[in-house]
Chains A and B, each alone.
Chain A
Amino acid sequence: QLQLQESGPGLVKPSGTLSLSCTVSGVSISRSTYYWGWIRQPPERGLEWIGNLHYNGNTYYSPSLVSRVTISVDTSKNQVSLRLSSVTAADTAVYYCAGFGDFDAFDIWGQGTMVSVSS
């Protein structure tokens, strides 16, 4: 059964870099045709798509975040990673990783991890 689990620091200082990992279990990332995405939800606000990593290695990012975000994969750890640089308080959010499969939709999600940006 495919499962996703986000992990990483819950507190990041302003101007620093947010780094999160998503451990994928139940399928090998290197042999999967899933796309892997990151989505976030700031407090009291809606979901925001951050970006997707396609199984062919291509990445696609939200136009509003493209200058600061990198999504990558570590096949040896079966993990998908998110890096967001130059963070501010506006980047405080619950961060979700999600799998985008046969349904042309995010059909599997992690439970999310809260990241606060504060000094």
Chain B
Amino acid sequence: QSALTQPASVSGSPGQSITMSCSGTSSDVGAYKLVSWYQLHAGKAPKLLIYEVNERPSGVSYRFSGSKSGNTASLTISGLQSEDEADYYCCSYAGSSTYVFGSGTKVTVL
């Protein structure tokens, strides 16, 4: 069970849209519609942004959206804002009631 692969960093200017990928295998990302995304700000509790590939919990900004194609999931942040500067992690169900997280992407707002 290897970690899902995410780009180490993504950057963008305020107002721009950015997309980060989350690459897995046919045993995890590709097999289930159970991909979630989390935002981590240092010293704060992680926050769920997206669940079941593209669903947003209430209270999460519409600027966050998710998608999946094959073994790769993606998170897009539109209208980038300074408060979006954080680390982002994907997570996928991997079968047999186990889960695997991604390697994490650091988002920098230029």
Contact = CB atoms under 8 A, between A and B. Distances in A.
B102 A46 contact: yes
A54 B97 CA distance: 10
Interface in B78-105: 89, 91, 93, 96-104
Contacts of B104: 46-47
Given A52-B97, A62-B98, A107-B57, A96 B51 contact: no
A34 to B, nearest CB: 13
Contacts of B96: 60
Interface of A: 4, 37, 39, 46-49, 52, 54, 58, 60-64, 96, 98, 103-112
Contact of A39 (B3, B48, B101): B101
Contact of B101 (A4, A46, A104, A111): A46
A76 to B, nearest CB: 25
Given A46-B101, A48-B101, A49-B100, A104 B34 contact: yes
A102 B101 CA distance: 19
Contacts of B51: 103-105, 107
24 contacts: A39-B101, A46-B3, A46-B102, A46-B103, A47-B38, A49-B100, A54-B97, A60-B96, A60-B98, A62-B98, A98-B46, A103-B36, A103-B48, A103-B51, A104-B34, A104-B36, A104-B52, A105-B48, A105-B51, A105-B52, A110-B45, A111-B44, A111-B45, A112-B45
B40 to A, nearest CB: 8
B69 interface: no
A24 to B, nearest CB: 14
Contact of A49 (B34, B48, B91): B91
Contacts of B52: 103-105
B59 to A, nearest CB: 11
10 A-B pairs with least C-beta separation? A105-B36, A105-B51, A60-B97, A47-B101, A103-B51, A46-B104, A109-B45, A49-B99, A46-B103, A109-B46
A47 B105 CA distance: 11
